[in-house]
Structure 1
Amino acid sequence: MPTFSSPTPTLASEIGYALHQILILRPTHPLTEIFSYVSDEGTVARTQLSEHMATWSAQLRHPLPTTRIFLNKEHTKRLLLQRGTAYALLGSPEQARQDLHALLQHSGTTTRQLEGLACLVLAVLATEQERYPDALPLWKQARAWLHPQEYDHLALTWYYTKVLVQLNHLRTAYRVLTEILSPTTPGLRLPRQKERAEAYAELFSQRGGVCSLLQYHQEAIEDLNAAIELHPTCARLFSIRGLLHAKRQHWQAAYNDLWRALHAMPEDQALADCLFVVMQRLGTQLAVPTTTPAMHTRRGGTRRA
């Protein structure tokens, strides 16, 4: 059984969460068994997954000459995909890359599913390690090889766009997001916004950030308005819109949003600092909201602003 002397739970859980969001798993999917040991939050049942890895490793090391299944190239690729993905989920990225790149070196015949899944896992791994130049071509290849029914379009778009933004490919990021938020591609089946409100809210927020970087300030505000309409209880969206208002020197609107966000996230010091700057800009003209939220003191009491 393989051992992992220096696991990185944070990286592993981030990879698990991302793949759990992106993949659409069916009973016959090659990664279904693996993700039965991964929670929705990305937590991995390490002992059970390690036990399965021992079996896959034994099959890859000692194929029986009398058993045709081990001589089948597709089966070998499937084992490499499973073990490589398990390595990634257990916090061993270099071993994961070794297996997944070995899979990609086998030429495909009838299907590109396994190669596409290998590229997807490698793309997520590179993204979570902030190796964005490595991640970008892997995301592109995964999108090209995987069938649209094999992945969640909203989740994959969010991660792919994150890489584009980090590499400053802003216009491409804007186009990719717009294809999802205002689809014009025939046959592209996307869930309705009401069915996936929080996911769409994240994409509107993401495009709002891209618009701001492109100096499309009004469009940025409109996208955050749409995001908040879909997910009105998310304080983070109010904080983003507040920062966009502050960027345009709309101090009262910025104050209203940042105040509301800080009430929900009182430990966010950066947010508190931004609100303080906005209050300075407002000066004596500060208009306190009609409903003034209670702010928690460090000793657990409350005070009014």
Structure 2
Amino acid sequence: MRLERKRFHSVVGNSVAGVPNGYDLPCGSDCGHVPRDGAVRRGRSAGSHRLRDPLPRSRGDHRLARRGLFGAGQLTAAGALARALTAAMLGAVAMVGSCLPANAQDGAAPLPPPRPEALRPSPTSAPPRPASPGPDKRQAGASLPVREADSACPEILSAVPGNRVRAVSIKASEQGCTVLEPVTVEALAIRGPAGPLQIRIDPPVTLACDMARVVADWLDTTVQPLARGHFGRDLASLRVGGGHECRRRNRSTAGPLSEHATGRALDVFGLTLAGPEPDAGVTVEAPKGQVQNRFLEAVRQSACGAFATALGPGSDAAHADHLHLDIMERRSAASRFCQ
């Protein structure tokens, strides 16, 4: 672009925007108009960098100003303000450091204030003695804990109409085979569609009273509704094989005692349904047809919720022909072992 020199004269005062009167500026054809206030509004010429700002600027200020982002005065004022703030912050940090105690300045943790005299322990007072542990409720040589007897359980169970339950006395043949509140169960009552029904226990079995109550609730609330749902018939009897028996698990000669030793286990071999039909019996070992299979599977699953342990066919060889149900005490009351 061809440059031509023009002479600018101020209309107000003797200079134009800080340019002395009569100063020659190289200017192109798009040289801006000089208003009456003496400022060049647009189209700064290529040689305008020769004009000096009234305040010095850094190289970064020059670059920002050249891009048109900030004016020279704005950048210089911002830099001065930043330096002033930095100096003030350093001064505040120095004042805080001078106010800290000597041990804090050395890097040691500050000590807490001394304890009031009223709160100091008396030198003559003896330290508190730990509480003595309660009596051990586990009998010597027994593998199962001894539970507290519920003297009202036999009376409550025998008072239910339809229950044939009587309290008995059992002498433990071996240490650890004690049965709390033993009862002999001959029949248990359940609710039928037309009124109370009676389920025979075949043969009668001796159980701990708390186990007998769990069995009665399970038959009434679960097994009877399942029988009505699968066969449309009521439950008639429960074929069992073992209740209280002082022996070890799986009839082994060593190892822990079985829950049968304390009367808290029951083996179920089959169930019978009310009616004259020949297929009224359902055996655990050999169910007949798909309906009986589904019924026994549902009964087995319900036993996992009612009892602490439920073992049956498929778990091991010792339980291939019956369901083993017990209320073994575990760490958690919600713990279950089902196979």
Short-chain TM bin: under 0.3
Which of the two has higher C-alpha Rg? 2
Q: TM-score, normalised by structure 2?
A: 0.19
**Larger helix fraction of residues:** 1
Q: Which structure would you say has the larger RCO, counting Cα contacts within 8 Å and 6 or more residues apart?
A: 1
User: Higher strand fraction: Structure 1 or Structure 2?
Assistant: 2
TM-score by length of 1: 0.20
